[in-house]
């Protein structure tokens, strides 16, 4: 807590090559929070930017002591950057935000009002996704359907990282050690009293998106394999079904041979069975590999991220707090 009585709200902003966007972000957010009865801190997590982002952040820090910087040693990805931000945040409430103003700052007061009503997590949900392409909307919709079918931790469709989290939720998130940080799943896994607030997501104000379709596909895989073992288990049932069908077919063949004698043709059906069964074996091996790979990544138990430098934090906040 700072500023005497006022409670502290931490805005966590991961940035990766966003030199053109940072000043605009601050100019837009400052007036919105100016009237709020809280103290604020901006925690920028520089996720290994290779452009002038760090210099611009340091300049902003000199102008406004509320701007704090966690500089990571390289690009670790947005979810790890968020983890670094959650660790560094001192606020009674924490709001992760994108720097490109796709998370509208006008929502901050609405989040705070819900927080004051006693909600521990206030989740921003995109009402429309006009800024996204048709393809992205379709695949996103499909992903939520598949995920919620396979995994017990139900996701709120179209909810992103933009939300308010009470200190108790942040403390809970900070205890989760996993490497594959599928944040949407982790938020819902920790639970707490939550409510949703709807908003319209505008297009990016400047700069370019860091997501490619391949990255999104891997993101979806991480999400599902991180929260469900269903994909591993369906193979036992598939195997059972195929084996039973095989026995049935064998019985039929025996009876037919006894009744009608030996019959030569059968090449087509053999080839088909061969291809189908081998395909299934390979798919199931692949899925085993997906999980095995993730187990391998987790057992190494490396830290989630490496900090190069922290700027603007009280001396006692250094060095970097121990990670799970």
Among 9, 11, 26, 99, binds ligand UDP (CB under 6 A): 99
Q: What is the footprint of ligand UDP within residues 6-25 (CB under 6 A)?
A: 14-16, 18
Q: How many residues bind ligand UDP (CB under 6 A)?
A: 17
Burial, 104: exposed, middle or buried (Cβ in 10 Å; 0-12, 13-18, 19+)? middle
| Cα 157 from Cα 141, distance rounded (Å) | 8
CA nearest to 226, candidates 284, 187, 186, 190: 186
Rounded to a whole number of angstroms, the minimum distance from the CB of residue 60 to Mg ion is 20
For ligand UDP, the closer of residues 78 and 114 by Cβ is 78
| Cα 100 from Cα 119, distance rounded (Å) | 27
| Cα 121 from Cα 133, distance rounded (Å) | 29
Partner whose footprint covers residue 78, from Mg ion, ligand UDP, none (CB < 5 to 8 Å by kind): ligand UDP
| Cα 320 from Cα 305, distance rounded (Å) | 11
Rounded to a whole number of angstroms, the minimum distance from the CB of residue 72 to ligand UDP is 9
Burial, 10: exposed, middle or buried (Cβ in 10 Å; 0-12, 13-18, 19+)? buried
For Mg ion, the closer of residues 92 and 98 by Cβ is 98
103 binds Mg ion (CB under 5 A): no
Q: What is the footprint of ligand UDP within residues 32-51 (CB under 6 A)?
A: 47
Among 2, 28, 102, 174, binds ligand UDP (CB under 6 A): 102
Q: What are the tokens at 62?
A: 């000199």
Among 2, 28, 75, 102, binds Mg ion (CB under 5 A): 102
96 binds ligand UDP (CB under 6 A): no
Query: CB neighbours (10 Å) of residue 239?
Result: 14
Among 71, 100, 153, 166, binds ligand UDP (CB under 6 A): 100
Rounded to a whole number of angstroms, the minimum distance from the CB of residue 169 to Mg ion is 23
3-state secondary structure of 228: coil
Cis check: omega of the bond before 292, within 30 degrees of 0: no
x/- track of binding to Mg ion for residues 79-98 (CB under 5 A): -------------------x
140 binds Mg ion (CB under 5 A): no
End-to-end, the C-alpha distance of the chain in Å comes to 24
What is the contact surface with Mg ion in residues (CB under 5 A)? Answer: 98, 100, 102, 204
What is the contact surface with ligand UDP in residues (CB under 6 A)? Answer: 14-16, 18, 47, 75, 77-78, 81, 98-100, 102, 204, 209-211
């Amino acid at each position: 807590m700072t500023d005497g009585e006022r409670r502290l709200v931490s805005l966590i902003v991961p940035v990766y090559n966003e030199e053109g966007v940072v000043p605009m972000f601050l100019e837009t957010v400052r007036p919105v929070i100016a009237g709020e009865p809280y103290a604020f801190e901006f925690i920028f997590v520089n996720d290994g930017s290779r452009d002038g982002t760090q210099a611009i952040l340091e300049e902003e820090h000199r102008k406004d002591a509320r701007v704090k910087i966690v500089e990571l040693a390289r690009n670790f990805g947005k979810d790890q950057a968020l983890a670094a931000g959650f660790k560094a945040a001192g606020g009674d409430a924490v709001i992760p935000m994108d720097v490109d103003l796709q998370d509208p700052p006008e929502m901050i007061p609405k989040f705070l009002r819900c927080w004051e009503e006693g909600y521990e997590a206030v989740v921003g949900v995109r009402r429309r996704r006009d800024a996204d392409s048709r393809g992205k909307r379709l695949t996103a919709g499909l992903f939520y359907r598949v995920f919620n079918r396979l995994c017990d931790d139900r996701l709120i469709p179209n909810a992103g990282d933009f939300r308010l989290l009470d200190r108790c939720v942040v403390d809970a998130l900070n205890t989760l050690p996993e490497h594959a940080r599928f944040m949407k799943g982790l938020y819902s896994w920790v639970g707490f009293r939550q409510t949703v607030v709807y908003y319209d997501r505008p297009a990016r104000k400047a700069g370019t998106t860091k997501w490619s379709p391949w990255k999104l596909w891997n993101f979806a895989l991480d999400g599902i394999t991180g929260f469900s073992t269903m994909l591993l288990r369906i193979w036992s049932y598939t195997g059972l079904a195929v084996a039973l069908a095989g026995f049935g077919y064998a019985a039929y063949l025996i009876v037919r041979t006894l009744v009608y004698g030996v019959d030569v043709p059968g090449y087509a059906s053999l080839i088909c069975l061969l291809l189908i069964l081998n395909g299934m074996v390979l798919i199931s091996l692949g899925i085993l590999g997906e999980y095995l790979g993730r187990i391998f990544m987790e057992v190494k138990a490396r830290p989630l991220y490496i900090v190069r430098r922290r700027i603007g934090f009280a001396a006692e906040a250094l060095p970097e707090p121990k990670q799970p």
